[in-house]
């Protein structure tokens, strides 16, 4: 069976309401009516638009059509097995039936017509929704509640959803049963939330871990120190071991986005004063005279053997 994209035929989005669908169909019908249009494909376009409208104006048929998914127009596809059982006329296979005929057969079955022979129509699962939500890092760590506005066959509605603590970038959360209403006893659809984390002035997320740059004075790095650093829960004291070098990662356990399984890492950078007092200059000059430390000696030896 070849898939027909009824929404594309009418030129409306898949979220279009009944008024938009009617307006689009009437415009196409006026344009391609065989008594009006001289286009060679006018009759085919007119019938195609009528077929799309007949399905999408009917709430039940539209829900069933949406349940088929969204293959490319003209692509070969097979509906779910339950459709074969409930809606294929007689013993016909789906290779022998057109999509429009299939939906028409479904309509006869629901109406209890003479040709149906069925008392019950197939349960139809409610529509699933997908949307993106943006969170601050603080809300991602602590959890958040927000209002989502959804539009479906029942109209527009506002739903309060809860984001659990520990969400991370590109995570997809499933809110089971919060989507469109099921029909004929079908289960309600779901909502899928795609998480986007807003940029932060200090922290950089990597999955559930967080990173930030920690500037240390030369003496703090050489001698060791206790320095106050930020976290999403407030400032804390971090112990800097003596001899800490630039690029070292200092870990604060449990301070990432997920408190029980992620960490916060301080990436060390050594900074120096842009200007020196006379006394500071004297001390640096004295250190330069007495120190045998040469940060480049081993580096050059290592590179020579590469």
Stretch 49-62: mean pLDDT, rounded? Answer: 86
pLDDT in tens, 286-306: 999 999 988 888 766 655 555
Stretch 187-208: mean pLDDT, rounded? Answer: 94
DSSP label at residue 274: S
Q: Which domains does the chain have, with CATH numbers?
A: 6-111 (1.10.287.110), 129-197 (2.60.260.20), 204-304 (2.60.260.20)
pTM: 0.59
Residue 146 Cα distances to 77, 149, 180, 193, angstroms: 38, 10, 19, 12
pLDDT in tens, 105-144: 555 444 333 344 444 456 777 778 888 999 999 999 999 9
d(CA 38, CA 31): 10
Q: ∠ CA(73), CA(76), CA(77), 5° rounding? A: 100
């Amino acid at each position: 069976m070849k898939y027909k994209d009824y929404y594309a035929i009418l030129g409306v989005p898949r979220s279009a309401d009944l008024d938009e669908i009617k307006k689009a169909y009437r415009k196409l019908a006026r344009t391609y009516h065989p008594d009006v249009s001289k286009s060679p494909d006018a009759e085919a376009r007119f019938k195609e638009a009528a077929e799309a409208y007949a399905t999408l104006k009917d709430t039940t048929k539209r829900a069933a059509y949406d349940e088929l998914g969204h293959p490319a127009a003209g692509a070969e596809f097979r509906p779910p097995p339950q459709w074969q059982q409930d809606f294929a006329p007689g013993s016909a296979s789906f290779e022998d039936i057109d999509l429009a005929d299939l939906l028409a057969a479904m309509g006869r079955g629901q109406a209890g017509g003479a040709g149906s022979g069925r008392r019950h129509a197939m349960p139809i699962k409610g529509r699933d929704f997908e949307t993106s939500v943006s969170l601050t890092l603080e809300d991602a760590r602590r959890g958040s509640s927000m209002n989502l506005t959804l539009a479906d066959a029942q109209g527009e509605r506002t739903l309060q959803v809860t984001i659990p603590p520990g969400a991370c970038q590109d995570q997809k959360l499933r809110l089971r049963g919060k989507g469109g209403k099921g029909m004929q006893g079908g289960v309600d659809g779901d909502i899928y939330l795609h998480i986007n984390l807003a940029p932060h002035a200090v922290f950089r997320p990597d999955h559930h871990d967080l990173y930030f740059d920690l500037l240390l004075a030369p003496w703090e790095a050489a001698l060791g120190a206790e320095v106050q650093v930020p976290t999403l829960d407030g400032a804390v004291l971090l112990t800097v071991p003596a001899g800490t070098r630039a690029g070292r990662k200092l870990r604060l356990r449990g301070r990432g986005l997920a408190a029980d399984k992620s960490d916060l890492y301080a990436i060390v950078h050594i900074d120096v004063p842009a200007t020196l007092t006379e006394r500071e200059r004297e001390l640096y000059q004295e250190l330069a005279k007495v120190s045998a430390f040469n940060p480049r000696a081993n580096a050059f030896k290592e590179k020579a053997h590469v």
